[in-house]
């Protein structure tokens, strides 16, 4: 039984937008009428069937002809022959001599009632793969997978939302907003959708729309801590620090263990010039944070506040804690170097800047600060 393994780049084949593909010539060539088992081999050893299909047409062509056929390249989903050739050389490094043969074949998906093997839920299978890619941070590929799953149900609100999330993470904010709006039209009482589109507008620096959609989310549920958190961020971006503080205080009233709210509350208190209170807020964030969730930003924020208060020794201790979590962060290292400079400890300061330049050789701040230290030795 011929098996066709599909890759991340084969989303069009999975969704049905394209039904032609290319593979090197197998020991047993394909023929029209052959029954295909189509699997998605997204991880090294994971193979799960997506669908079954029937081969409808096959051409056996030499490599030298394929890489010069621009029409074929377009049919196969490539932008041009250069892209096709590059992919074939990468996929089949030992089969790219002029006369090496490939099979270009077309197929049609079979209805589940026509399958020879056990049936699978294609939509759920694709969503599962998309979720794996999302967790891996492969947001562009994950978005493509969610879109493929959407072909099976164009009104799936969860999929529309996840596509928006993916597109937001890869900077395609306008497209993300379109998907969020479609989801909202289908589920107008979902505060999370309004909150997500507010975040998208916030990322686009459109504070007016961010505020508008955040207000709609709050109208639905005024005690949703996620919505309140982003409302506080929006107020912060609007320089309305008093209202921002009110949001984070309200979150803490609802959930005293929300370490993100405590952390951001510290940031806002700093903006209001209330540094001692900010330190207390950072300490509370650290206290309620689980070990696996410990955030270097909280320690760094606390350290920056101590630096402003000229409590340099304590600042250095906090920077060290931050570096235990994020040991190559150039901002943290540079700031710790400045704290050492304030204590006239230029040797340790230089070591901080040297560490920055080891991983970020073009960091101008580290270069200038290191030179200043050398002048004082």
Model confidence at 232, in pLDDT bands (50, 70, 90)?
Answer: very high
* 234-259: pLDDT as tens digits: 999 999 999 999 999 999 999 999 99
**Distance between alpha carbon 266 and the CA centroid of its chain, in Å?**
27
Mean pLDDT computed over every residue of the chain? 89
Quick: pLDDT tens for 34-93.
Answer: 998 887 754 444 556 778 899 999 999 999 999 999 999 999 999 999 999 999 999 899
Percentage of the residues of the chain whose pLDDT score is greater than 90: 67
Kindly list the strands in the beta sheet with 46-62, ordered across the sheet, starting from the edge strand earlier in the chain: 3-6, 35-43, 46-62, 101-109, 20-24
The confidence score (pLDDT) of residue 44 equals 45
DSSP-assigned letter for residue 38: E
Taking the CA of residue 265 as centre, how many other CA atoms within 13 Å lie in the half-sphere pointing to its CB? 27
Nearest-angstrom CA–CA distance, 12 and 231: 39
Residue 118 has pLDDT above 70, yes or no: no
Residues 159-218 pLDDT 10s? 899 889 888 988 889 999 999 999 999 999 999 999 999 999 999 999 999 999 999 999
């Amino acid at each position: 039984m011929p098996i066709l393994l599909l890759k991340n780049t084969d989303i069009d084949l999975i969704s049905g937008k394209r039904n032609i593909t290319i593979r090197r010539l197998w020991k047993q060539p394909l023929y029209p009428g052959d029954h295909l088992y189509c699997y998605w081999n997204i991880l090294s050893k994971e193979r799960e069937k997506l669908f079954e299909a029937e081969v409808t047409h096959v051409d056996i062509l030499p490599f030298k002809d394929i890489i010069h056929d621009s029409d074929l390249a377009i049919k196969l989903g490539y932008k041009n022959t250069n892209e096709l050739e590059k992919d074939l050389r990468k996929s089949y490094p030992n089969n790219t001599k002029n006369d090496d043969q490939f099979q270009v074949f077309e197929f049609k998906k079979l209805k589940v009632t026509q399958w020879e093997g056990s049936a699978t839920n294609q939509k759920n299978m694709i969503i599962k793969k998309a979720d794996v890619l999302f967790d891996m941070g492969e947001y562009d590929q994950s978005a493509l997978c969610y879109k493929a799953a959407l072909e099976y149900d164009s009104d799936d609100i969860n999929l529309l939302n996840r596509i928006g999330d993916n597109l937001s993470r890869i900077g395609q904010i306008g497209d993300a907003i379109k998907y969020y709006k479609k989801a909202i039209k289908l589920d107008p009482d979902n505060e999370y959708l309004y909150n997500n589109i507010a975040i998208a507008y916030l990322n686009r620096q459109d504070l007016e729309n961010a505020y508008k959609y955040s207000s709609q989310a709050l109208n639905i549920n005024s005690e949703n801590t996620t919505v309140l958190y982003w409302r506080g961020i929006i107020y912060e971006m609007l320089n309305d620090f008093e209202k921002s503080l009110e949001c984070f205080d309200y979150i803490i009233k609802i959930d005293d263990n929300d370490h993100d709210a405590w952390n951001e509350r510290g940031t806002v208190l700093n903006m209001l010039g209330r540094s001692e209170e900010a330190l207390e807020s950072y300490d509370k964030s650290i206290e309620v944070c689980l070990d696996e969730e410990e955030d270097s930003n909280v320690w760094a924020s606390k350290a920056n506040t101590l630096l402003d208060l000229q409590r340099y020794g304590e600042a250095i201790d906090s920077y060290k804690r931050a570096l235990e979590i994020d040991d190559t962060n150039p901002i943290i290292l540079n700031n710790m170097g400045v704290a050492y400079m304030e204590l006239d400890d230029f040797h340790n300061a230089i070591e901080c800047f040297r560490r920055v330049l080891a991983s970020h050789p073009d960091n101008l701040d580290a270069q200038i600060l290191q030179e200043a230290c050398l002048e004082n030795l």
